[in-house]
């Protein structure tokens, strides 16, 4: 069973509180030019983002099973 999920942010619901950036800076970042949260990584495990999801005031951090054309389904090139 693959526990990798596809991560997205509901930008309409996002309050830009930056809590996710503070909790998971390796996954979320602040784009100063566009003034919005961006993803450093789109493929994560639920465990990596569960705390940020639980504390998100607008529940805008979303996880889903990877779609057929998702980069999350490609083999990790760092694992030989």
Whether 77 has a pLDDT exceeding 80, the answer reads no
Q: Is the alpha carbon torsion for 15, 18, 24, 28 positive or negative?
A: positive
Supply the pTM of this predicted model: 0.86
pLDDT at residue 1 is higher than 60 = no
Pairwise CA distance, residues 35 & 45, whole Å: 26
The sign of the dihedral angle between the CA atoms of 59, 65, 66, 68 is negative
**Residue 20 DSSP class:** H
In this predicted structure, what is the pLDDT of residue 18? 96
Residue ranges and CATH numbers for the domains of the chain are: 4-65 (3.30.70.20)
Give the pLDDT band (50/70/90) at residue 74.
Answer: confident
* pLDDT per residue as tens digits for the range 16-72: 999 999 999 999 999 999 999 999 999 999 999 999 999 999 999 999 999 888 888
């Amino acid at each position: 069973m693959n526990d990798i999920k596809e991560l997205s942010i509901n930008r309409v619901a996002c309050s830009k509180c930056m809590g996710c950036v503070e909790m998971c800076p390796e996954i979320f970042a602040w784009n100063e030019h566009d003034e919005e949260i961006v993803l450093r990584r789109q493929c994560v495990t639920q465990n990596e983002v569960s705390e940020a999801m639980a504390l998100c005031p607008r529940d805008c951090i979303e996880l889903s099973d990877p779609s057929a054309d998702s980069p999350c389904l490609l083999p990790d090139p760092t694992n030989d």
